[in-house]
Structure 1
């Protein structure tokens, strides 16, 4: 049996602008022998070695313009594209993996270096990929009418995963992971994308076949209740359900599952890409389903009123912060 942790509360949020960038594994290099910012990353190395009983955990770096790029840098890159207004009522930052600068949290650094003012900064952590849809619920709980909110989803894996038991937890193939930053300009009242939070569910089944059947049943229920014509799944969830890049949701719905999963930003990156390519069009309704890589799925329904502003950045563009 599956459990419903939270159902649709009814109130929508609106998104007018999506900005995103991705950083795939091939863009990273190993920090060897010792990185010049060792003082910043050493707490992460000590904790990994102590927790897993290892020696010499390696880190990796994303380089741009001759310097190491942190998750905070990635977040600022996408946030700077949302507009020129000097003020945000809310800044909601969701991040699960540790920041490279262990002694300087990214939210504090962003507030210190950014040229705009934020009345209510809010950080979300330890939600993993679920933050992609659960951040919508957080924004709904937080905002008042006429307030502007920037929702920023960012993940950067700075610890090198060498596949050892106890660190990488190798299991059946689930596709690749990619790092990313996604920024959404959100508000209440009206906008390009109307978004309803649909709920969060627990999948009880352990067996692979039963897991897929139960999860697909919940997804179909969400699709029917929101009259969605498209569905976008967390990439690793799609592979978990079917083991291939093609997944049959129903006799009339087949989706292609990307090989690379961009964590909390994955469903938004897929949505933005399909909007850019005209696969999803105005007046379409789309279910976004995120997954915590275990037993919990979360969803929201996007009604495309009109096309939002879409900005796809590349990692070699100018980085304005340090």
Structure 2
């Protein structure tokens, strides 16, 4: 009986290879048809501008005359451009300070909200609302609050006999003022970290509590290792935010200097003393003030390479830590 069944099975005709090939081709074409809008948008609005930027970075181009190939002249000029080095320093300062303070602040607020028993929805909404404010409006609000000699913050400090700093009128306090603005609008990161903290298994906390671990030790040895991938995401997000800081720096410098024309365009970018001259602000100045699009394209290429490298390193670190956690849990 078994032999008869085996003879019948082996005698069945195989499905035609040509039919399987047609079905596979039809499936691929269907997938490509659904992906076509996304692929077209990516090529037109990201791929082509990226390639064009790299090409223009090797030219002298003023948007009027045809591009003139100059080789590496734009990149070599960066080393002799003092304001380029100033913008690099300001941007790196903001990357370090904003990344550390933003992640620590968001994690602290998320940890506090996670321990609340009532009013969590209202507090969560209040934390998230500032992140919806337009950058121009948020910066102007903070400028009015921090305004020296009559601002609400200066008045409140005067009640305690303290004199507030000049903030956006003082080179030493302008960058900390920008960092404070970015902290205020970091509600999106607070919500993300809050979800990660609430997702930590309660069984681990209960087991650690039975072993005599206090709240601080539970937070350090359970909460932090569990949410480490989300923390690394927060670091990546904060680095990108600081590297691309433009609107807040322009608005703060314009409002601090008072040098704006009737259309609202500032005539004093980087005020005070180039302390708010970030890399994107100097890139914009070169491209749309001096119309040196070749040099601006070279700066944009450098910014893209640095952002991509920083993101790649952090993402690789994230993957490595997640693999180590999986290996440890499996062991």
- Structure (1 or 2) with the larger CA radius of gyration: 2
After TM superposition, is the score higher than 0.5?
Answer: no
More strand by share: 1
More helix by share: 2
